[in-house]
Every structure is written in C-alpha cells, then in structure tokens.
C-alpha cells in the first residue's frame, strides 16, 4: 500500500516533537509524620537505589511508548520508541511509526543530532545546553529517565516532611532543584528550574528490574503547559558495555541540513493541518 508524502511528513514531524519535548523538557526542618522513616533513613535508601540504577546506565536500552499533549502540539497519537543510554554523555532515541523509523536522534555531551529519514533531513545543534536550558543534555535525559537525582548530603538536613516521605531542595550551579521522595527513597516528583525555564517530572510507577527499582511510568512538562510528555517503559535491557556502533553519528550525503527555525516551522505546519 502506498502512503502519501503528507503522511510521511506527518510521521517525521511528530517524531521531531517527541524528541524536542523530551529535551525541552530538561526550608526548615520538620518532624517526620508517624509511620514515615526518618530523613536520614530515607536519604540512605535514596542513595542506595540511585547507585543501583547508575551502575547500569553505562549500557542500557529501553522500549517505551510516548504520548504528547500541550499547547505546542495538541494531543498526538502514542508513539513507540527505542532509547539507548551510555552514561554519562550519550543518549540515542529512535521513534517508530507504521512506516518505520520516523526520527533518529542522538545526544552527545552538549550536541544534538536529529535525523528525519522520511524527509531526508537532519538537524545538528552544537552548544545545545544553552538553547535547551539544561547543562549537559545527554546526562539530563538519562537522569530524568532513570531518576538518578543527587541531592548533596547537606541538603537532607533541611528536608521537610510531606504526606509520603520528604522533600529536599538544593542548588546546582545555575539550577534550582526540589525533589520529593517516598518512604522507600524513590523519587516521586522533581521540580527543575533554570532562569525562566521550569520543568516538572512526576514518577508515577516503579518496578523491580533485575534487582533494581526503575521508574516505568513518568510524565514531564514545562511550567507553562507548552509541552507535556508521558513515558511508559515497556522493556529494559542492560549490557556489560555500550554498542559503540549504535552511538556513531552518520549523516547521508543526500540529507539536507535544517536549522532550529526549520524544525519549528515543520512542526507548526504539520500540527496545524486539519
């Protein structure tokens, strides 16, 4: 069955939205309520769980389902995607549709490469951290997906109790972070702020995967409701080492290189189509 070029462009554009949303989208002391462990116990459990997740981020792959909503996109159909992480500085994402791969994106340190196979187009952004409002985008994406947030030890002394466990706040350079964790030390919500950029992450479900607790359902949104992304993890796989070929950047000679403005225009055109 033949598919129209507008359908192919629609798939490619939605794939671009998936990627952009994932990246864009980067007190006083109180007595713990009865039945909730002390903040010291929670901080220890949090550190232990984080360490177990960090131990496999050097070579981890996940199959996920992505759903997007928000003022920028409207509600879009769910997309299947494959995500590979080689922490601390590499992430790759491929979004799939009926026509195959509609988006192939790689983040390496502070650079982002996005390929839209259906459009024979690519977008390369150096110095992406400044444009996206996060430091080290690859590390930020890995931290969001694996919930490997690192409050400094001193921040726990100023933690405040909440209904599930406690909330701890700290600063990391220009970034301001506030993390809510449950009694088991698992992250529940995170608020990330840098200047005018504010991102919220909500960890909705967790599962034990080969002896490690991982978030398997999470949502990411910006403070103004511009884009909201929901991620459901269908499968997680760990390896002894990363597949270097999978993280190699290749741009076919027939590919036209797009600017960030081109990407925005492409998304806007496809989203506005009836």
| Mean pLDDT, residues 243-249 taken together | 80
Write the DSSP assignment of 201-213 as a string of letters: EEEEEEEEETTEE
pLDDT in tens, 92-133: 999 887 778 888 888 887 778 888 787 787 887 766 556 566
How confident is the model at residue 137, as a pLDDT?
82
E-strand spans in the chain?
60-69, 79-86, 90-97, 100-108, 111-116, 121-125, 160-161, 165-172, 175-182, 187-194, 197-209, 212-222, 228-238, 256-258
More confident residue, 242 or 265: 242
Q: Which residues pair with 237 in a beta bridge?
A: 61
| pLDDT of residue 21 exceeding 60 | no
Residue 271: pLDDT band (50, 70, 90) is very low
| pLDDT of residue 2 exceeding 90 | no
Residue 27: pLDDT band (50, 70, 90) is very low
| Mean pLDDT, residues 204-224 taken together | 95
Domain residue extents for the chain: 5-26+29-272
How confident is the model at residue 29, as a pLDDT?
36
Q: Which CATH architecture has domain 5-26+29-272?
A: Clam (2.50)
Q: Identify the weakest region by mean pLDDT among 38-47, 55-64, 67-76, 121-130.
A: 121-130
User: Dihedral sign, CA of 95, 96, 99, 100?
Assistant: positive
pLDDT in tens, 186-201: 999 999 998 888 999 9
Q: What percent of the chain has pLDDT over 70?
A: 77
pTM: 0.78
């Amino acid at each position: 069955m033949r598919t129209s070029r507008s359908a192919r462009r629609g798939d490619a554009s939605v794939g671009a939205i998936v990627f952009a949303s994932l990246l864009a989208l980067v007190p006083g002391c109180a007595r713990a309520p009865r039945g909730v462990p002390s903040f010291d116990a929670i901080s220890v459990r949090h550190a232990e769980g984080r360490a177990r997740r960090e131990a496999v981020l050097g070579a981890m792959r996940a199959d996920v389902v992505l759903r997007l909503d928000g003022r920028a996109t409207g509600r879009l159909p769910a997309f299947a995607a494959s995500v590979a992480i080689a922490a601390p500085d590499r992430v790759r994402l491929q979004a799939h549709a009926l026509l195959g791969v509609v988006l192939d994106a790689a983040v390496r340190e502070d650079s982002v490469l996005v390929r839209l196979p259906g459009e024979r187009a690519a977008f390369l952004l150096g110095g992406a951290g400044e444009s996206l409002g996060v430091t080290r985008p690859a590390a930020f994406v890995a931290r969001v997906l694996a919930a490997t947030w690192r409050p400094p030890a001193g921040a726990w002394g100023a933690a405040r109790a909440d209904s599930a466990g406690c909330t701890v706040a700290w600063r990391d350079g220009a970034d301001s972070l506030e993390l809510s964790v449950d009694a088991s030390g698992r992250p529940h919500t995170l608020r990330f702020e840098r200047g005018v950029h504010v991102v919220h992450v909500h960890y909705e479900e967790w599962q034990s995967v080969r002896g490690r607790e991982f978030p398997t359902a999470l949502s990411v949104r910006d403070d103004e409701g511009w884009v909201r992304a929901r991620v459901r993890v269908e499968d997680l796989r760990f390896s002894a080492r990363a597949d270097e070929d999978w993280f190699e950047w290749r741009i076919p000679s027939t590919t036209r290189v797009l600017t960030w403005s081109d990407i925005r225009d492409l998304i806007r055109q496809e989203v506005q189509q009836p």
